[in-house]
Structure 1
Amino acid sequence: MAWFNRKTPEERAVSAALELVQSQPRMQGGGGGSETRWRGASRVLRSMTSWIPHLGSPSRDLNKAERSTLVARSRDAMRNHLLGRAAIVRVRTSVVGTGLICRPQVDYDALGISETEGERLNELLEREWTLYAEDPRECDAEASSTHYQQQAIALMSALTGGDVFVATPDIEREGTLYSTRLQLLETDRICNPNGQPDTDTLTEGVEFDSGTGAPLAIWVCSGYPGEKRLSKALTWERLEVFGSGTGRRRILQVWCDKERPGQKRGAPYLAPVLEPLQKLERYSSAELMAAVISAMFTVFLKKGSDFNQSNLPMSALGNEQPEGAAPDLPPVELGEGAVVDLAPGEEPITANPARPNAQFDPFFMAVAKEIGAALELPVEELLLYYSSSYSAARAAMLQAWRMYNLRRWWLVCDFCQPSYELLVDEAVARGRLRLPGYSDPARRRAYTRAVWIGPARGAIDELKEAKAAQARIDAGLSNETIEAAAMTGETWQQIYRQRKREIEQRRSDQMELPNSKQPQPAQPIEEE
């Protein structure tokens, strides 16, 4: 059987190469590990020996204990840390601002209707949505916030808690048109009943299908599990994500960030920067306190070595004065341009704590830049401090708005558009809107198409921005609809209709149009 152990020349060459590599001493310095082809995978480099992370599922890498700690610290940072609060409110103000406005865009081609009929439906849909969204009693289960305010609350809660859930209970109220309400549920209230551990189909209050991972239901606590309630015991309610009869979406989950497939719960926005944020806050507070202390200018009076020359303060001698002691003097105080006659043996000595620290601002800005990079916020946008050139400031603003637009799109997909579709569903069911063929899923999507427009980006130099927009339109790189939405936050159709009414009103009142240019009559072409 010798032929069974015989190796081919190629196998012998590979074996010899492996023996040669194994006989070489492993590198322990910074040149690279010889046991791996990637330095990042080396386990013998001194810089990498202590870096041994473990592979885990999304639920394990963001388990309940760690996520609860991250949420608690993120909320505290948002309350008490200046940079933490600045990051959260900056995203809230830029992404939502005064609210994302819904502009229905019915797909009239898919519905087989004319453009005029499509515009009529858009006006009817927008009117019904406005009646619903602007009245807190219509849209809010708590009857305290409009839909535009709910957008801001949902975004801030998702940023600090990792996610926020929205229930859509059916509540009848006197004096309202609809019964579909939106109830925001903080991330703490979505948890496993009675604190039971996670299972194969239940992760932190989210019940899902074991095959596809699709959410089936959520478990909502009647209160906050971390708080003690003596009046009555906590209870859990199971709410289905999709209606059993209609398949309509009944539970919405607004994410902060979903980074992995199969992830059921989100991490807070500040989670990656909590450690440097806490250290920077402590450093900033210490420097501020040192500057305050240094502002309290203190002078020490040094006594002479001779006891008879007031070696001790007069308060230490009681009412008796030794022979030859200096008489009682008024308390020594600092004053503007004052000349103080000190007692014999007294010498003024000042304390200089060397504050403010000249290196504080460069170090603070360096760490703030790293924090801003992790949060996709340039330091100019994070601190609202535009001290460089116009080009640098505009670049920082544009870079920040790439992140704002992304988060605005996520908010529209998770909260705004689903709530709008639920409203149209009820409007059709109540007979307030007549949309033929609405039961067909394809036609329903054609009817419920909409554009959500938020606050405009703004401009540092509006004249330059307007000229650039006109140049893009003239070059065919953009259109008036895109530029109008970016610069004013309104649709081009609305601007056009309003502008047309203004021009017609001026003409009817025989008023001169501002900056109007009278069209010149066409010159006849002479034939040769």
Structure 2
Amino acid sequence: MNMIDRAIAVVSPVRAVKRQVARKQLDILNTGYSNSGASKQKKSMRGWRSKGGSTKEDIDENLEMLRERSRDLYMNTPLATGALKTIRTNVVGYGLVLNSQIDHEFLGITEQQADEWETHVEREFSLWAKSLMCDSMQMHNFYELQQIAFLSFLASGETFVTLPHRYHKEHWYGLRVQLIESDRISSPTNASKNIINGVELGTFGEVAAYHICNIHPLSMDSGKKEWKRVEKFGKLSGRQNILHLMESERPEQRRGVPILAPVIESLKQLDRYSEAELTAALISSLMTVFIETTEDEDGSGQVIGEGIPEEEQVDQEDDMTVELAAGSVIALNPGEKANMSNPARNNASFDPFVTAIIRQMGAALEIPYEVLVKHFTSSYSASRAALLEAWKMFKMRREFIASRFCQPIYEEWLTEAILIGRIHAPGFLENPLIRQAYSTAEWNGPSQGQLDPLKEVNAAIKRVEAGFSTRARETVEMTSGNFWRNHYQRVREENARRDAGLDLAYLEALKVLQEKEVKENDED
């Protein structure tokens, strides 16, 4: 307080206090974000109650409820089901397929030798991947496991994968893939402070191990809960014992959040609104006549006429229940009157309102409205822009599932294949660089949809001719195929057609060439 304020305080203490408060308020208002988002003085911000927390308070302590509600929406709300399955189908589809791409220059082998090695590896991997023996439950092949793991990652926010070895007399490989639902990763009873939500942290905050419960927390089965500690990396081998598929949104985050988390409330409210409109439309279509009886008549409340079959009644045991049905006539008891609200309406604002809400949800999920509801009514340019925007997200998530799920499992399989002598790779087990050179691969999945195939093909041809792209890349992006396999197949097909005399253009060119040779011989 300066000298003037002290003098005022002697004469008028209240006024001095107001001056001091006003000065503090000016300090706050004139500092950066306090003029807008962090303002505590603006009327528009006074009602905003926010409280921040660490990832433990904001995420870990809310995960159980988020998972349950997210799965409930997936199972019972069409829009949520469609959103998750749209992402799953475009990212994984029928399953990402291995395309081995070894670094033959570093390995010192020719392109032909590299091609032969890659073909052999892909054939061997297909033997394992298409077998049910790759699944620890012996129910799915590798490509189906990709779909389950990715869909669970979307709905629950994360998926855990262990890679045990169980040998079978009728199968070469012992590697198995075991998918574990996220709920089973939980903290044991009386866990130490360094175990947060089933994740054990090391000295420097790194993930050291996971604790897996033998019983699903939401299961109705009785039994003693026991936890198994699985280290993230093996002490001797250094192999990754457990894969954790999750998408981090904050530093120091150890558990994943369901993708539907930001739109759970909107989805549920929209589902209730849609159900209410559907019920109103159904009631409006039911024509029911109520007859009020007098004291002298038998007003037993029975249905006159055809009525409603018992199996279609809502509550057969409740005599007070009045069932509405198309064309039914119901007699009321003496003194009773049917007072009905009028649900008959054609809500013209239903579709625009729902569309606006879905657009907001699509923005949060990175799925344009047209792709989310599978409704393309705009121009070609607008529809293509929506597809391209969606495919930015699809490609990002495909890279995620390929690098975090497919590639680590492939490297584990390749190591076993080399150890049992099915594949020859000198130096693979000794030199990390050689291991990386042999393990390099691409994972190809569903191609991007084409609104106008002719335009898409012409654009691809121009990109290749201008040197902006390659035939191999365009083949993958347009059809998810392999250019070299297509090339060799086309050579075989064209040769077969020529040998069979079916290639008319070739025969005509051959005829012209022969006539030209005969003419030149005659002139000589």
State the TM bucket, normalised to the shorter chain: 0.7 to 0.9
Alignment of 1:291 with 2:281, yes or no, is yes
Q: Please give the secondary structure, in 2, of the residue aligned with 1:361.
A: helix
Q: Which of 485, 491, 494 lines up with 2:482 in the alignment?
A: 491
Q: Please give the secondary structure, in 2, of the residue aligned with 1:409.
A: helix
Q: Could you tell me which residue of structure 2 aligns to residue 97 of structure 1?
A: 93
Q: Distance in 2 between matches of 1:70 and 1:500?
A: 55
TM-superposition CA deviations, 1:357-398 (whole Å, max 9, x none): 111000000000000110001111111111222222211111
Q: Could you tell me which residue of structure 2 aligns to residue 134 of structure 1?
A: 130
Q: Distance in 2 between matches of 1:433 and 1:227?
A: 43
Q: Could you tell me which residue of structure 1 aligns to residue 362 of structure 2?
A: 372
CA drift of 1:51 comes to 3.2
Q: Please give the secondary structure, in 2, of the residue aligned with 1:176.
A: coil
**Within 5 Å, which residues of 2 pair with 1:82-481?**
82-137=78-133, 139-194=134-189, 196=190, 199=193, 201-211=194-204, 213-230=205-222, 232-255=223-246, 257-298=247-288, 313=293, 316-318=295-297, 353-439=343-429, 440-481=431-472
Are the equivalent residues in 1 in contact too, given 2:101–2:118 (CA < 8 A)? yes
Q: Please give the secondary structure, in 1, of the residue aligned with 2:422.
A: coil
Q: Please give the secondary structure, in 2, of the residue aligned with 1:193.
A: coil
**Within 5 Å, which residues of 2 pair with 1:49-68?**
49-63=46-60, 65-68=61-64
CA drift of 1:514 comes to 7.9
Are the equivalent residues in 2 in contact too, given 1:380–1:386 (CA < 8 A)? yes
CA drift of 1:508 comes to 2.0
Going from structure 1 to structure 2, the CA distance change for 1:191 and 1:481 (only over 3 Å counts) comes to same
Q: Which runs of no fewer than 5 residues in structure 1 stay unpaired?
A: 1-18, 302-311, 321-329, 334-348, 522-528
Q: Please give the secondary structure, in 2, of the residue aligned with 1:254.
A: strand
Going from structure 1 to structure 2, the CA distance change for 1:258 and 1:313 (only over 3 Å counts) comes to same
CA drift of 1:319 comes to 7.0
Are the equivalent residues in 1 in contact too, given 2:498–2:506 (CA < 8 A)? no
TM-superposition CA deviations, 1:432-453 (whole Å, max 9, x none): 1110111211100100100100
Are the equivalent residues in 1 in contact too, given 2:280–2:344 (CA < 8 A)? no
| Amino acid of the structure 2 residue aligned with 1:434 | H
Alignment of 1:41 with 2:38, yes or no, is yes
Are the equivalent residues in 1 in contact too, given 2:214–2:225 (CA < 8 A)? yes
Q: Distance in 2 between matches of 1:263 and 1:517?
A: 69
Q: Please give the secondary structure, in 1, of the residue aligned with 2:257.
A: coil
Percent identity at matched positions?
38
Are the equivalent residues in 2 in contact too, given 1:299–1:350 (CA < 8 A)? no
Q: Distance in 2 between matches of 1:319 and 1:458?
A: 68
Q: Please give the secondary structure, in 1, of the residue aligned with 2:256.
A: coil
Q: Distance in 2 between matches of 1:414 and 1:516?
A: 53
Q: Could you tell me which residue of structure 1 aligns to residue 323 of structure 2?
A: none
The answer to which of 107-116 and 44-53 deviates more is 44-53
Q: Output the TM-score relative to the length of structure 1.
A: 0.81
TM-superposition CA deviations, 1:82-120 (whole Å, max 9, x none): 111111111111111111000100110111111111111
Are the equivalent residues in 1 in contact too, given 2:91–2:395 (CA < 8 A)? yes
How many residues get paired? 458
CA drift of 1:296 comes to 1.4
Are the equivalent residues in 2 in contact too, given 1:287–1:356 (CA < 8 A)? no
Q: Please give the secondary structure, in 2, of the residue aligned with 1:218.
A: strand
Q: Could you tell me which residue of structure 2 aligns to residue 346 of structure 1?
A: none
CA drift of 1:298 comes to 4.7
| Amino acid of the structure 2 residue aligned with 1:317 | D
| Amino acid of the structure 1 residue aligned with 2:445 | G
Superposition RMSD on alpha carbons, in Å? 2.9
TM-superposition CA deviations, 1:476-513 (whole Å, max 9, x none): 22221121111101121122122222112212222216
| Amino acid of the structure 1 residue aligned with 2:482 | T
Going from structure 1 to structure 2, the CA distance change for 1:78 and 1:61 (only over 3 Å counts) comes to same
CA drift of 1:22 comes to 6.6
Q: Distance in 2 between matches of 1:514 and 1:265?
A: 63
Going from structure 1 to structure 2, the CA distance change for 1:353 and 1:226 (only over 3 Å counts) comes to closer
Q: Which runs of 4+ in 1 moved over 6 A?
A: 19-22, 330-333, 513-517
Going from structure 1 to structure 2, the CA distance change for 1:319 and 1:145 (only over 3 Å counts) comes to closer
Q: Could you tell me which residue of structure 2 aligns to residue 9 of structure 1?
A: none
| Amino acid of the structure 2 residue aligned with 1:404 | F
